[in-house]
Amino acid sequence: MLYRTVPRTQEKVPILGFGCMRFPEKNGVIDEERSIYLLRYAIDKGVTYLDTAWPYHHGQSETFLGKALSDGYREKVQLATKLPHWLVKTREDMDTFLNLQLSRLNTNHIDYYLIHSIGQESWERMKKLGILEFLDLAKRDGRIRNTGFSFHEDTRTFKKIVDDYNWECCLIQYNILDELSQAGRDGLYYATQKDLAVFIMEPLRGGKLAQIPPPDITKILEEAPVERTPAEWALRWLWDQPEVTMVLSGMNDISQVDENCSIANVAYPGSLTQDEQDLITKVSETWRSLMKIPCTGCQYCMPCPFGVNIPSCFEMYNNVYMFGDTWRTNAVYAARLGGVMSGIAHASVCTECGSCMSSCPQGIVIPERLKDVSARLEGPFFHLIVFSAKLTLPIIRYVELFKNRRLNRIMNK
C-alpha cells in the first residue's frame, strides 16, 4: 500500500481508505459476519483509514465498527467519523454527540473528526453556536486528534470554510465527472496550498463509474494501449494527482478490496502517460455529452440571489438520466437542497429573475431547465417529505440525547 502525507502533521495515511457506508447487508441491517471479515481483510492488506458517520447504515455503522475493531484492530487503524450538525442545537450538543460517538465506536479518541456535509448557512450557524471553540477543546482534551469537514456546495463557500479554521483535512466529492463541480479542481488546489490533506469521496460516483459503461465509452477504452477496468482508469486519474492525499472507497466485496488494493500499490503521482491522460479526458468528455443539461459546474451563475444551488440541481438531474439512480438522487436532493441538512436551495425556489442567464458560458436557459429539475426531482410529495424530515429531526435528537444521558448514568455508577 502506498502512503501520502498529511501536510500539517506529517502523519502518513494510506492512499486508499475504507468508506463505511456500503457494508453488505442482510434483512436491512449490516451483515456482521461478512462485514467484519471484509473489513479486517482490507485492514490486513493496508487499508487502515476507516471513514464513517452518524447516519451511515441508518445509524448502525459506528456501533458496528466498535465491534469490528475489537481484538486489537482499533490500534491498527486511523478512525474517522463526523459530527451531524443538523442535530446540533446548542454548544453542549456538540460534546454530547462526540461523546456518544466515542461510546458507539468503543474508543477513547477519534483520529479524524469531520463536520459532516457543511455548507454556507449551516457553517455560519455552527460558528455562532461555538464550533471553533468546541474543536479546540476536543483536540486539547484528546477526544479528537485531527479536524476536518466534508463538503458538497460551491467553490466560493469551500474556500471560506477552509480559511475559517486550522483544519488538518477536508473531504470532497471529486472524480472524472466532478472535476469542475462542487469544490472541484479549484478547491482541491486551494486546500493543498493551505496545507490541508484532501480526502476524496465518491471517486466512482457511488460505483456507477465502475459498472459496464455506455457503448461510446466502451469503444474509447478498447482503444487504450493498456487494458484496465473502468474503475482502475477512474482511480488512477485521481491518484495521478499529487494534491489528492487519499481516496475513499465503499467496498462491499472481497474482489473490490483486491482490485482497489492492487491499483493502490502502484498508483504513484504522475505515473500516467500523456496518452493515458488524454484518453481519460476523452472518456470524461463523452460522459458529459450524455448529460441532459450541458452544465460543466463552472459556477459562473452563482450565487443565485434567491439561494438556488443551480449547479447541484443540474448535477442531480443529470444523474437520474445518466445512471438511472432515481431513488438515491431524490433522497439526496431533498436532504441537501430541501433545507433538511442545510439551507433551502432547490429548483422551485427560482423566481425566474434571469440574473444567472448572462453568466452561463454554455448558454443554458437556466430558469427553464430549473423547471425541468423541479418537475423531475420534486414532484407532488417533495415538500411533504422535507417537512416530515424536519419534524423528525427533533425527535431523533431527543432520542440520541436521552441515550447519552442514560449511558452517562450507567458509566458513573
pLDDT in tens, 122-140: 999 999 999 999 999 999 9
**Is the separation of the CB atoms in 237 and 280 below 8 Å?**
yes
Class of domain 3-272: alpha beta
227 exposure class (CB count in 10 Å sphere: 0-12, 13-18, 19+) = exposed
pLDDT in tens, 376-400: 989 777 888 788 877 787 787 777 7
Question: Is residue 361 over pLDDT 80?
Answer: no
The stretch 336-364 carries a mean pLDDT of 87
**Confidence grade of residue 409 (pLDDT, cut at 50, 70, 90):** low
Residues of the chain with CATH 3.20.20.100: 3-272
Confidence at residue 282, expressed as pLDDT on a 0 to 100 scale: 95
Question: Is residue 411 over pLDDT 60?
Answer: no
Question: Is residue 402 over pLDDT 80?
Answer: no
Q: 21, 28, 134, 55: which is closest to 392 by C-alpha?
A: 55
Confidence at residue 46, expressed as pLDDT on a 0 to 100 scale: 98
Question: Is residue 233 over pLDDT 70?
Answer: yes
Confidence at residue 221, expressed as pLDDT on a 0 to 100 scale: 94
pLDDT in tens, 170-229: 999 999 988 988 999 999 999 999 999 999 999 998 788 888 888 899 999 998 989 999
Confidence at residue 308, expressed as pLDDT on a 0 to 100 scale: 94
pLDDT in tens, 57-108: 989 999 999 999 999 999 999 999 999 999 999 999 999 999 999 999 999 9
pLDDT in tens, 239-258: 999 999 999 999 999 999 99
Confidence at residue 403, expressed as pLDDT on a 0 to 100 scale: 66
Q: Which residue has the higher pLDDT, 321 or 150?
A: 150
Confidence at residue 406, expressed as pLDDT on a 0 to 100 scale: 61
Confidence at residue 186, expressed as pLDDT on a 0 to 100 scale: 96
Confidence at residue 52, expressed as pLDDT on a 0 to 100 scale: 98
pLDDT in tens, 311-347: 889 988 988 888 777 777 888 888 888 888 778 899 9
The stretch 18-44 carries a mean pLDDT of 95
Confidence at residue 149, expressed as pLDDT on a 0 to 100 scale: 98
Lowest-confidence pick of 52-56, 206-210, 296-300: 296-300
What is the CB neighbour count within 10 angstroms for residue 61? Answer: 26
pLDDT in tens, 11-30: 999 999 999 999 999 988 99
| Cα–Cα distance for residue pair 389/182, rounded to 1 Å | 24
Confidence at residue 25, expressed as pLDDT on a 0 to 100 scale: 92
Question: Is residue 412 over pLDDT 60?
Answer: no
Chain-centroid distance of CA 276 in Å reads 27
Question: Is residue 408 over pLDDT 60?
Answer: no
